[in-house]
A and B are shown apart, each in its own frame.
Chain A
Amino acid sequence: MEKELWKGNEAIAEAAIRAGCNCFFGYPITPQSEVPEYMSVHLPQAGGVFVQSESEIAAINMVYGAAGAGMRAMTSSSSPGISLKQEGISYLAGAEVPCVIVNCMRGGPGLGTIQPSQGDYFQATRGGGNGDYRTVVLAPSNVQETVDFVQEAFDIADQYRNPVMIVCDGLIGQMMEPIEWRPVPRRDLPPKDWAASGRKGRDHHNVINSLYMAPEDCDRHNQHLEEKYAAIAENETRWEEVDCRDADVIITAYGTPARIALTALETLQAEGVKAGLFRPITLWPFPQEALRRLAERPNVKAFLDVEMSSSGQMLDDVRLAVEGRRPVRYLGHAGGVMPTVEEMTASVKAVLKEVQ
């Protein structure tokens, strides 16, 4: 298939349109503004609806309305805007309304910087909103994957009636890369017979709601959600392993740092150091079992977690999976400073020295 050169954010928008996104609601923020800009031109041409909302709070609630009425709805933002969407995401999860949310992460806390970052891992995987809920979190590491995941995200959301979030750092959003428009396998999806789209002869009225006043009802609803999350964890957990078979040290990284790590692996290999990469693709569900299995392998002596975050956030999940079986060390920067190949190779060697 022919390759085309696309900027990450524009490719995100185009991928959504190709996936049948009916409507997009967004608010400008760097480094994701190309998504609403592209949508404002191309989505109406494809018969869809674009609204520039007054805030990210309004945008996510417009998504709730449109998706609750049965549409394929999407919003995108960057970190401070995603913070504002948390209330809405909690309601979407509680009312089981499917939608796609893109976070083109920038540095924080607060206004932080417009430079790429991975400081929103906790927010994405722990739920920045209130209550016991989960969003499926996909973390692509290049523009091609971003495009593929955006297209698939709508099906995942519809299959489980759950918000799906795509987290990419600002680098992926801003970078131009050659991509292929691959036909994404379509899932067999249940009809949206729950949607509040007008009765039109239906014998009952549909309600989109997350309120369960009676304690037993709310408990039952939460149990139902838990069962759904367990099914998602069972079916949708994704990761990639590179050169892990006989690695002494395994780098854990996602998104852009995982990509930088591939170069680091080559450098290390040339120097005779056996290192591998474990790359979570779904941040939730986190590939806990797969990582645990690696930690149990006799050849693996230590892990090095690398993130664009000051003290490490995925690091917690890595440690939970490794469960003290092997030492886990950390390398990271915040604020848009990328971990370099040199730092990674030096850190791997230092970790190896420590355990030998």
Chain B
Amino acid sequence: MAIVYQKSPGLTDAELHYCPGCNHGIIHKLVAESLVELGLLDEAIGVCPVGCAVFAYNYFSCDMLEAAHGRAPAVATGVKRTHPTQAVFTYQGDGDLASIGMAEIVHAAMRGEKITTIFINNAIYGMTGGQMAPTTLIGQKATTCQSGRTAEQAGMPIRMAEMLSTLDGCVYAERVCVTDIPNITKAKRAIKKAFEKQMNREGFTFVEVLSTCPTNWGMTPLQAIDWLKTRMIPYYPLGVIKDTGAEVK
């Protein structure tokens, strides 16, 4: 019998701890498959965040470092500068990257570190139980803004891909989601392209993935997908935000 589908060798056999309907698992799969298809798995070094993806080191089968909250881009800088020919990536949530780790991500991008950052924007602090993130939408309820976020109290949600795109060191930024097969395909293409451009030594590459958190959004998995499409995408438009540098051969 022909094998039509199998788990990527970029993932271990460990059982994922993510909630039902959470998109973290799909995104892990796309990153793992991309590394394998590009022949980078054996060389790759990943850096996990503090957040729901903290255990990503149990799931990716390449070498991994677990960073302190928000510091993954600095950790990845130390790895990449001393291992310049190897694929290095960070996998970070929106609290991790856009709040506590803002300085580290901006400066890694500014320096044009040849790394790939996979940014999981689920508009909430998942792991700690649903507090407001810098990406939480206006009106969206969280445990630290229980009547919904207001601009007056917390400012407007931040669009990281657009912001990092203003930096010359950032050569590629795309926003994707994984709500259905066409979008999953696009997301995978973006992740692969980011790694290719990294290996081409073009500069800093960034893929923002809009992601569901049914648990802390208080929704079923299907409601969460619908909310992502109808509420998140209008504020965080999908597509390539920046793509410069030499064309990938």
Question: Which of A51, A55, A87 sits near B77, CB closer than 8 Å?
Answer: A51
Q: State which size class the interface on A falls in.
A: 35 or more
B79-87, B140-148, B149-157, B210-218 - interface stretch: B79-87
A61 to B64, Cβ gap below 8 A? no
Asked if B63 is an interface residue, CB under 8 A from chain A, the answer is: yes
Residue in B closest to A71 when the chains form the complex, CB atoms = B82
Asked if B44 is an interface residue, CB under 8 A from chain A, the answer is: yes
Asked if B184 is an interface residue, CB under 8 A from chain A, the answer is: no
A53 CB to closest chain B CB (Å) equals 7
B42 to A55, Cβ gap below 8 A? no
Main secondary structure of the interface of B (DSSP, over half): mixed
Asked if A11 is an interface residue, CB under 8 A from chain B, the answer is: no
* Chain B, range 60-99, C-beta contacts under 8 Å to A: 60-68, 71, 74-83, 86
| B111: A residues at CB distance < 8 A | 51
| A123: B residues at CB distance < 8 A | none
B65 to A196, Cβ gap below 8 A? yes
B159 CB to closest chain A CB (Å) equals 22
Question: Which of A25, A71, A200 sits near B43, CB closer than 8 Å?
Answer: A200
Asked if A304 is an interface residue, CB under 8 A from chain B, the answer is: no
Asked if A22 is an interface residue, CB under 8 A from chain B, the answer is: yes
A208-216, A239-247, A268-276 - interface stretch: A208-216
Asked if B12 is an interface residue, CB under 8 A from chain A, the answer is: yes
B78 to A198, Cβ gap below 8 A? no
A63 to B78, Cβ gap below 8 A? yes
A198 to B86, Cβ gap below 8 A? yes
Q: State which size class the interface on B falls in.
A: 35 or more
Asked if B158 is an interface residue, CB under 8 A from chain A, the answer is: no
B71 to A88, Cβ gap below 8 A? yes
| A206: B residues at CB distance < 8 A | 63-64
Asked if A250 is an interface residue, CB under 8 A from chain B, the answer is: no
A39 CB to closest chain B CB (Å) equals 13
In the complex the two chains form, what is the Cα distance from A58 to B76 in whole Å?
Answer: 10
Question: Which of A49, A61, A205, A210 sits near B71, CB closer than 8 Å?
Answer: A61
| B75: A residues at CB distance < 8 A | 61-62, 64-65, 68
Question: Which of A51, A54, A199, A207 sits near B65, CB closer than 8 Å?
Answer: A207
| B44: A residues at CB distance < 8 A | 198
With A57-B74, A61-B71, A64-B67 in contact, is A199–B81 under 8 Å at CB?
no
A198 to B43, Cβ gap below 8 A? yes
B103 to A208, Cβ gap below 8 A? no
| B186: A residues at CB distance < 8 A | none
* Chain B, range 93-114, C-beta contacts under 8 Å to A: 103-104, 106-107, 111
A23 to B103, Cβ gap below 8 A? no
Asked if B45 is an interface residue, CB under 8 A from chain A, the answer is: yes
Asked if A95 is an interface residue, CB under 8 A from chain B, the answer is: yes
| A22: B residues at CB distance < 8 A | 82
With A205-B62, A206-B63, A211-B54 in contact, is A66–B68 under 8 Å at CB?
no
Closest CB pairs A-B (n = 4) = A65-B78, A66-B78, A61-B74, A62-B78
Interface set of B (CB-CB < 8 Å, partner A) = 12, 41-45, 47, 54-55, 57-58, 60-68, 71, 74-83, 86, 103-104, 106-107, 111
Interface set of A (CB-CB < 8 Å, partner B) = 22-23, 25, 49, 51, 53-55, 57-59, 61-69, 71, 73, 87-88, 91, 95, 195-201, 205-211
